[in-house]
Every structure is written in structure tokens, then in C-alpha cells.
Amino acid sequence: MATRLIPARDRWAEILCLGLALILLMAGCSRAPRRVPLPIGQQPQIFSGELGSSLNREYLLYLPEEINRKKQKRWPVILYLHGGSLRGEKVERVKSYGLPRWLEKQRNFPFLVISPQCPPGQRWNDPEGLVRLLEEVCRRFPVDHSRVYLTGISMGGGGAWLLASRHPEWFAAVAPLCGPGQTSWACGLKSLPVRVYHGAKDTTIPLRRSEEMVSALKACGGQVELMVLPEAAHDLTWLYERKELFEWFLSHRK
């Protein structure tokens, strides 16, 4: 078979074309993908993980405006559990009171805030589902794992007691507000800073429920303080509009 000889100038032209194609290919591969800005403020999200009995698939997530400007920053997180009157299947109801309501007016609250909704007739009795939700948010967003905080009010305060007792490794500090707990859970929280708020005039969940939890936790060697509000009844939602609680959170990290 005869061998076809390629003229030298054609061979150099072919090499030049191949080199140029390789340069263009490398330039395209090295170009960083354009980052899509994250939706700021409080928006509904869909939980893609395994659901438990006390967790709806839709939840609220608050992202501060600066999350798109400070791209290298890792943000502290608050998991908020609502009270019993907001159970349902429409996550927008969670904004009716408490921390999610206040967040509707905020642009740069310096936390990511996760606010799930409990289904009708249920309680916050699925710690594993809540942990899976935390895992998903921490995987998708720039979270500071050393500054994950937990709070809840009324039924949500009880949920905070339970979740923190089962999974203390997740949290840097916990703040139940007027929440009913079981004293058998107390020793599970002994490694965590805990601040409990309760109104002295609360007739829905009496102050003694928090006092019993605090006494049991102290007996286990826990780090706990009870903030009794002398003139307050059961509605303590206004505490989420003050800096005090959030400054206390930020004073703790794992």
C-alpha cells in the first residue's frame, strides 16, 4: 500500500489547529460556573429527605441579604419550633407569630433560620426528622456547624427540650420558651448551655413545668439558667423581637 506524504506546511497547519482547539477547550473547562444569587429573606423550601410523623415537607428558610455578598462566610443557624396553634398544612401560617413573623421585616438578621411546620394533631415528637432537616440545610447552604442553635415556644419549647436531649451534639445552645418537658430528658442536655424563659403568670403551661426541668438539669450538672418574667403570661413571642436572646446564642459555640 502506498504511503501518502503530508506536505510540511499542511502538517504545521494541522498541529496549529489542534493546539488552538486544545487551548479553547481548557479555557472553557477552567471557567468557574456563574453563581446564582440565593433568594434572600424568608422563603418556603421543600424538604427532600425522609419525612417523620411530625414534620411537613414544606418549611420556611430565612437567608440574610449579605449571604450573596459575603460568599466565603459561614453563617450561624437557628432552628425554630412553633407552638401548637400553628399546626397545619400551610407553611405560611408559621409566620403568624414568633420569630418567623418578626423575620418578615428583616433584611440582614445575621442568622439562617429554619422554621418547619408540625402537621395537624401532631407534636414535635420526631427528633430524627428534625435532624435530617438540619442536615439538608447544612449541606445546601454555607453554615457554621459550631454555631447551630435551637429554640421553640410553648409546644415548640417542649420540642426543643426533646430534640436537644436526643441530639445534643448538634447544638451550641438551647432556649426553650414556656415549654413542657419531661424531667427524664434533662440529663441528655447536661453538656449544653440552656436558657429557659417562662412567665410567672402563665396559666396555660405553669411556671413549675420549667422549674422542674431546670432543677432536674442542675441535678445532672447541667449549665442552665431560668429567666422568670414576673408580669408575663403565656405569650412570650415578643422575646424574639429583642437582641438579648440572639446575643446570648452568639456567645456560645461548640
Structural domain boundaries in the chain: 41-250
Between the alpha carbon of residue 172 and those of residues 51, 84, 138, 160, 250, the distances in Å are 25, 25, 15, 13, 9
Q: Is 174 left (phi over 0), alpha (psi -120 to 50) or beta?
A: beta
Nearest to 150 by CA among 136, 142, 169, 140: 169
Position of cell 441579604?
65
**Region 41-250: CATH code:** 3.40.50.1820
- Under 8 Å between Cβ of 178 and 234: yes
Q: How many CB atoms lie within 10 A of CB 195?
A: 20
Give the DSSP letter of residue 95: G
Sequential pLDDT tens for the chain (254 residues): 444 444 545 554 555 455 554 444 454 444 434 457 788 899 999 998 777 777 899 999 999 999 988 878 999 999 999 999 999 999 999 999 999 999 999 999 999 999 999 999 999 999 999 999 999 999 999 999 999 999 999 999 999 999 999 999 999 999 999 999 999 999 999 999 999 999 999 999 999 999 999 999 999 999 999 999 999 999 999 999 999 999 999 999 99
Whole-number pLDDT of residue 210: 98
Whole-number pLDDT of residue 51: 73
Whole-number pLDDT of residue 10: 53
Residues 6+ apart with CB under 8 A from 235: 199
Whole-number pLDDT of residue 72: 87
First to last CA, the chain: 77
| Alpha helices for 141-185 (secondary structure H) | 155-166
Whole-number pLDDT of residue 18: 54
Whole-number pLDDT of residue 7: 52
In angstroms, the CA 151 to CA 163 distance is 10
Could you tell me the pTM of the whole model? 0.85
- Under 8 Å between Cβ of 207 and 228: yes
